[in-house]
Amino acid sequence: MRAVLQRVSFGKVTVDSQVVASIGKGLVILLGVGPEDTIAKTEELAEKCAQLRIFEDDAGKMNLSVLDVGGEAIVVSQFTLYADTSRGRRPSFVYAAKPEIAEPLVDVFAHKLRQLGLKTGQGVFGAHMMVDLCNDGPVTILLEV
């Protein structure tokens, strides 16, 4: 499982001209699921995302988590995080989990964030989404479990 965390001052996801999720300060999390991923891995990654200290304290040091700053999150499923570009010029996505595996794990991930106390919105699995955000810093972190 792979996640790209972007620390944002705002974020929103639009599907068919309808805003399906929006946040202020927090994280936009692009989540890729592999075929061997499990609920345990999913929950571990959610905990890591919620507790990762990438927000600045009063001294300007990254010592605070999104939970510490009262931030929010948006989870966006993104199978393209498993793109294989080792051959040719068109990416292959054979290493991404099939939708019947990925969709429930994306839901588990978002649910775990909520259980940890993080207000969490989601994109729409499998939809063409427009993701709008202002990356704060910029801070972008790649996590993999």
Active-site positions read 78-80
The single-letter code of the amino acid at 91 is: P
**Under 8 Å between Cβ of 137 and 9:** no
* Cα separation, 126 vs 78, whole angstroms: 9
Q: How far is CA 55 from CA 28, 83, 117, 140, 142, in A?
A: 14, 29, 17, 12, 16
Cis peptide bond upstream of 138, omega within 30: yes
